[in-house]
């Protein structure tokens, strides 16, 4: 049973940068392991933003390409670095893990099997 704990959120001004972390425990190694981030803006639906597969291959939603960078370390700590923050990036950000084949794409992340409690990011203009 994977357990995920996010950290690093906060309030920042537009144009700034922020790094989020997700400490993952109980994540077993698997060829289909996929880790990702999704967000939920206030009053809106959840949206997947990025994924990283077991081999380190990454994929991003078109809306965040060039500004968001997903990465992970050997201890399965997941990171999301966000540059050039915009007010529309304001959301609660969640990390998530799944092992199902074919699920490692951004739009699937909101339906991943395991997710954390999230961390709030608020961007002011």
- pLDDT at residue 118 tops 90: yes
Q: Which residues pair with 51 in a beta bridge?
A: 36, 59
Question: What percent of the chain stands above pLDDT 70?
Answer: 100
Mean pLDDT across the stretch 1-28? 95
- pLDDT at residue 31 tops 90: no
Q: In the predicted model, what is the mean pLDDT of the chain?
A: 96
Kindly report, residue by residue over 69-97, the tens digit of the pLDDT. 999 998 889 999 999 999 999 999 999 99
Report the chain's C-alpha Rg in angstroms. 13
Q: What is the pLDDT of residue 1?
A: 86
Q: Residue 63: CB partners within 8 Å, gap ≥ 6? A: 47, 49
């Amino acid at each position: 049973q994977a357990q995920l704990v996010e950290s690093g959120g906060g309030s920042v001004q537009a144009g700034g940068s922020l790094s989020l972390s997700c400490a993952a425990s109980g994540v077993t190694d698997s060829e289909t392991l996929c880790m990702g981030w999704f967000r939920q803006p206030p009053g809106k639906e959840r949206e997947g933003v990025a994924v990283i597969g077991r081999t380190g291959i990454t994929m991003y939603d078109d809306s965040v390409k060039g500004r968001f960078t997903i990465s992970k370390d050997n201890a399965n700590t997941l990171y999301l670095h966000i540059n050039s923050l915009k007010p529309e990036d304001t959301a609660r950000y969640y990390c998530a893990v799944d092992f199902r084949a074919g699920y490692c794409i951004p739009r699937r992340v909101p339906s991943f099997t395991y997710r954390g409690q999230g961390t709030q990011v608020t961007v002011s203009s």
